[in-house]
Structure 1
Amino acid sequence: MDYTHTFAISAAGMSVERTRVDVAVLNLANAQTLQGADGKSYQPLQVVARTAGSDAASFNHLVSRGLHDGADFTQDLPVASVEASNASPRQVYEPGHPFANAQGFISYPGVDPAKEMVSLMTAMRSYEANVAAMNAARTMALKALDIGG
């Protein structure tokens, strides 16, 4: 396996985790938003990571293919897509609010702050792990160059 593959794998992982951080922050920032500039209420988002290549391939198959086949591995790297979640709005009783309905309820976006904070912390730790893996690969590549002279 070429050591540059490890850089590409770590970079793809960091890209996915960066997207997860951005989406979690966006959801937290809009948790109390009633409506946007377009007049619609905020719809919480979620990140879905998929491989661009074969989705049905097992982990064992991907590892063996990566070890034995020097072909293009980039089709199996994760790619993040941002999709609207199907979280139902949170109903809060505030009868004096100008956006309250006839029963006195306001519909806030269905953002769970605890879930978003856990997602944020998990993404940050995963990003840090990918940075550590990239640094380890860089160190090993430099050591191999030193040994090879």
Structure 2
Amino acid sequence: MDHSPTFAISAAGMALERTRVEVAALNLANAHTTQAAGQAAYNPMRVVAQAASPDAFAAMMLSSDSVTSTMKPDFHVEASGAAPRMVHEPGHPMADARGFVSYPGVDAAAEMMALMSATRAYEANVAAMNAARTMALKALDIGGQS
């Protein structure tokens, strides 16, 4: 039995979740950056994943060719388009004429939730890969004794 599709599915899931963690960390790191006059403000990012059709998944599981080249996570990173937060801080060097400072529209609570859920999903993919590895090794062990 070929265990490559199982490993490829877990690897694709881990790649997606790693990207979600990186984007959430980037958004949190830039949550308090200010927009200088004449410069573009930081725009929070988000990961958009596309679901594969059930037929594509079944074809992948039944195919005998190299799965690692065909199983790629279908996602991309795009700007979220969140409106900037305007905070009244008259003494801030980047404040406008009315005393407001423009911060990126990053929701720290939502980013922390995304970070935790992506971490848990990554751990689940690692557990699935380890279980598949254990089963493959056990199958080799059983086959070697006959």
Q: Is the structural similarity TM-score above 0.5?
A: yes
Match of 2:48 in 1: 48
CA distance in 2, matches of 1:98, 1:135: 53
Uncovered stretches (5+) of structure 1, i.e. residues with no partner: none
Q: Quote the sequence identity (%).
A: 61
2:122 pairs, out of 114, 121, 127, with 127
Task: Answer yes or no: is 1:94 the counterpart of 2:98.
Answer: no
CA distance in 1, matches of 2:130, 2:2: 15
TM, length-normalised to structure 2: 0.85
Q: In the alignment, residue 65 of structure 1 is paired with which amino acid?
A: A
Q: Which aligned pairs between 1:18-57 and structure 2 lie closer than 5 A?
A: 18-35=18-35, 39-50=39-50
What displacement does 1:120 show?
0.1
Match of 1:113 in 2: 108
- Between 66-75 and 5-14, the greater mean CA deviation after superposition: 66-75
CA distance in 2, matches of 1:131, 1:49: 19
Q: In the alignment, residue 128 of structure 1 is paired with which amino acid?
A: E
CA distance in 2, matches of 1:83, 1:46: 6
TM, length-normalised to structure 1: 0.84
Match of 2:98 in 1: 103
What displacement does 1:83 show?
1.2
How many pairs does the alignment contain? 142
CA distance in 2, matches of 1:134, 1:46: 26
What displacement does 1:80 show?
3.2
Task: Answer yes or no: is 1:62 the counterpart of 2:56.
Answer: yes
Moved over 4 A (4+): 71-74
1:115–1:17 Cα change, 3 Å: same
